Amino acid sequence: MNKINLYVNGCSWTDGDVLDGRGVISHLKLNGVGRDYSYPTLVSNKLNFNLIDESRYGGSINRITRMTWDYIIKEKNSIDNTIFLLEIPNGFRDEIYSSKFEKYFNITGGLLSNPTDKTEAGNQWDSIKKDVIENYYNFHNFEFFDKEEYIKLMSLILYIKNTKAQIYFLQPYDLLAKIEKYQGIFSNIIEEHNIIKLQTDLMINNNYKLIEDMCFSEKISIGHELKDGIRDSHPGVSGHSVLSEIIINHIKKHNKFKTNKLI
């Protein structure tokens, strides 16, 4: 039987490159790169999955929706053998395509309001930054944006749930709140077994909703590992390890693919 594909997408709470950017790997004197220690890699290695990890810091729900659809269209013959694992970013985020540079740029609330925000950087971004920010403030309705973002993502989830693929979510609670906000449209699409709860018997607090809260309270964050006086609640190497254990246990419990590795 072919290996199960694990498709992962999310933002900096998932992206192992953040461990490199903050110098965690070198500080802990570890070999390799950050993604070697991120939970997508740890889960796929433990369960012998084919990993497709498209997470990136600053990533948005719209980015996740677009790239997941791209994966589905490209790999349509193997979708029924895929587990989708989506970490849902919180707060305002978007992406914008530059026809000048033929690439997408990530947009965050901080990037729009804080001149020192580093979500995007470099000469290409600097050359379009002013136009992009003016576009958001002059031609954007954030309430319309919120509704469209919700409908696009939930339509994707509905499609996946009508295949033989499996789908799981990390920290989807802002998304669940929107179901009530938009009068129950797409209600009952996300079921209890689709949500990976951030809890283990070894935790101090067994009821976290956000990855950042879990990592900070359990002292498994980048800030705790670097001990540099900066409060950085992104998962450190230890945080990614804990997340991988939580995810592995959840997949083993709810998996419907009959493989010797997971039974």
**CA–CA–CA angle 98, 104, 42 (5° rounding):** 170
Shared-domain flag, residues 51 and 27: yes
Shared-domain flag, residues 75 and 115: no
pLDDT of residue 12: 96
Shared-domain flag, residues 124 and 246: no
Residue 35 lies in a domain: yes
What mean pLDDT comes out for the span 207-215? 94
Shared-domain flag, residues 56 and 107: no
Name the average pLDDT for the chain. Answer: 94
Shared-domain flag, residues 160 and 189: yes
> Which domain, by its residues, includes 80?
5-90+150-254
pLDDT at 1 over 60: no
Indicate if the alpha-carbon torsion angle 48, 38, 190, 65 is positive or negative.
negative
Shared-domain flag, residues 216 and 189: yes
pTM of whole model > 0.85? yes
